[in-house]
Amino acid sequence: MKLLRFGPVGAEKPGLLDAAGGIRDLSGVVADIAGETLGDHALEALRAIDPATLPLVQGNPRIGACVGQVGKFICIGLNYADHAAESGMALPEEPVIFFKATSAICGPNDDVEIPRGALKTDWEVELGVVIGKPTKYVGPEDALAHVAGYCVVNDLSERDFQLHRSGQWVKGKSCDTFGPIGPWLVTRDEIADPQALDMYLEVNGHRYQNGSTRTMHFDVATVVSHLSQFMSLQPGDVISTGTPPGVGMGQSPQTYLKPGDRMELGIDGLGVQTQNVVAG
């Protein structure tokens, strides 16, 4: 099942993608794709609905982030060996954890803003994991049962803010529009193996990233389990699990985003994002 949110910023409605690619309005059934709606029983109830009985949304509405009311936006750094190498950083012994501000979240096709004073704005295609039920001290063998589904995330980064402006990475990761999520939340029953998904990212038609979740250093189950040892995870929390090689910082010469650029990125079975880059 592919769930989504559509409509103007701040007024998104819940929706479901039908077999023909049409958007079906779920607002008469649930208030949002958030919170308790992400639990197993609630998702099972949505699966039981015949999409043809739901109103078909006309036109081409804006698609919002596929999850609403996100409590935590957690990221895993240096989780692909070849990306760690291109970043000149050692592969970690435990998952590297940092946060993005939830105010960075935007729709998958919304414009991406280059923040004021930015010098090195970069891209990162990542597998997003959305938590479906309260999770605390879970073992890796049970961790995936706590996942509602998966989505595409572009973990945008201002490298100068991140690496050269002192303090933690969060200041280079949290600028407005630096967290496009979606287009869909694909429920976990549709993803047989989250460690077998090809992913890519292009800028202006040039493919920079061409990777696979197969090469993750810490797999999804390990990441969810590890995080749950340090904090409880709640329904709607989003985990961005790291990026494969091909980021702008790893190019020779280094290549960064500028106003007028256009990104396209996607992951097998999870859809495609496209973003125009504008000045903030």
What is the per-residue pLDDT across 169-214, written as a single tens digit (0 to 9) for each? 888 899 999 999 999 999 999 999 999 999 999 999 999 999 999 9
The pLDDT of residue 88: 77
Per-residue pLDDT, averaged over 246-257, amounts to 95
Query: Rounded to a whole number, what is the largest CA-CA distance in the chain?
Result: 54
The pLDDT of residue 90: 78
pTM for the full predicted model: 0.95
Nearest to 108 by CA among 44, 186, 166, 172: 186
Cα–Cα distance, 252 to 255 (Å, whole number): 8
- C-alpha neighbours within 13 Å on the C-beta side of residue 101: 13
Domain spans, the chain: 2-53, 73-279
CATH (residue range 73-279): 3.90.850.10
Give the tokens for residue 146: 């706590």
What is the per-residue pLDDT across 129-158, written as a single tens digit (0 to 9) for each? 999 999 999 999 999 999 999 999 999 999
pLDDT tops 80 at residue 86 = no
pLDDT tops 80 at residue 276 = yes
pLDDT tops 90 at residue 87 = no
